[in-house]
Amino acid sequence: MQASIFHRSRLPDGWVRPITPRILVESLRAIRSTKSTNSARLCDLLGVEERRASEICTQLVAMGLLCSVSHELVMITDEGTRFFDAAIKDDKEKLHSHLLQYGPYRAMSNQLEKKSLSLEDITGSCGLNQVAAETILRLLEWVGKLQRSESSVFYVTVRQQISVDSFANILDTIWNDLTRTKLGVKREFLRIPEVRDQVCKRLHLSFDVFDRLLEETVSKWPTKFELSSAPAQVAGARSEGGIHLRNRHYFYIRRLREEVKS
């Protein structure tokens, strides 16, 4: 094994090797149990080939979770220990905070906070190949920050205080966009998953926040919006993405009036 393989400073900018959250955590668990280890030992602990173990070690060194102590040996860093502890406690905010110290993760997170991007857009704007981009997306999803739209566009959800009035206005705007057809005939009902997808993408909201705000909107303006269940023939196949309110499941939404009055 070459000495340079574990040297973080010699890795190319944006260098990312594929790694899953499970492999990341299990690698830290295995290395933490020993004072130091090499890729040959890690391949036995993880049940992977030595080349793959070496690749994992190099990636974790690049992320600051491991450090090289000789030309073959690596050990867990203090940062790696704190990261592992956060993973065991499933503390997603701490995990995200730790991962933001890793350049490629930070760059992609910042990009997806600003705007929604497709995988192709991500590789171009962040200077990553597809494998690297998918690896970072997987980490963002693991810590609960990533949302994927129905059109395979990705964005990072952000914490923001949005009033039900502002939400209703955005809902109106999205409604107008979605109900337009090429023939000029407006659709009367819209699928809740379709509306949720567009509103969340516009506002970078999580689906849970959307559902809460939609419930508040319907409660505040009961004559403005009407919710409807899926027809029996499609209920089993298509109602999964609807919303549960007052022990009922709804899959469609209809706007009854044109303007929301605060």
pLDDT 10s digits, 132-187: 999 999 999 999 999 888 777 888 887 778 889 999 999 989 888 888 765 556 67
Which residue, among 105, 17, 22, 101, has the nearest Cα to 60 in the 3D structure? 17
Is the CB of residue 122 less than 8 Å from the CB of residue 132? no
- 62: Cβ contacts below 8 Å, ≥ 6 apart: 8, 11, 15, 16, 102
Paired strand residues for 189: 254
Comparing 102-106, 110-114, 188-192, 257-261, the range with the smallest average pLDDT is 257-261
Q: What is the mean pLDDT of residues 218-242?
A: 70
Q: 223, exposed or middle or buried, with CB in 10 Å at 0-12, 13-18, 19+?
A: exposed
Round to the nearest angstrom and report the end-to-end CA distance of the chain: 68
pLDDT at 13: 53
pLDDT at 5: 45
Paired strand residues for 130: none
Is the CB of residue 16 less than 8 Å from the CB of residue 136? yes
Q: 197, exposed or middle or buried, with CB in 10 Å at 0-12, 13-18, 19+?
A: buried
pLDDT tens string 225-236 = 888 886 644 544
Q: How far apart, in whole angstroms, are the C-alpha atoms of residue 207 and residue 240?
A: 13
- 141: Cβ contacts below 8 Å, ≥ 6 apart: 148
**pTM for this predicted structure:** 0.77
pLDDT at 105: 93
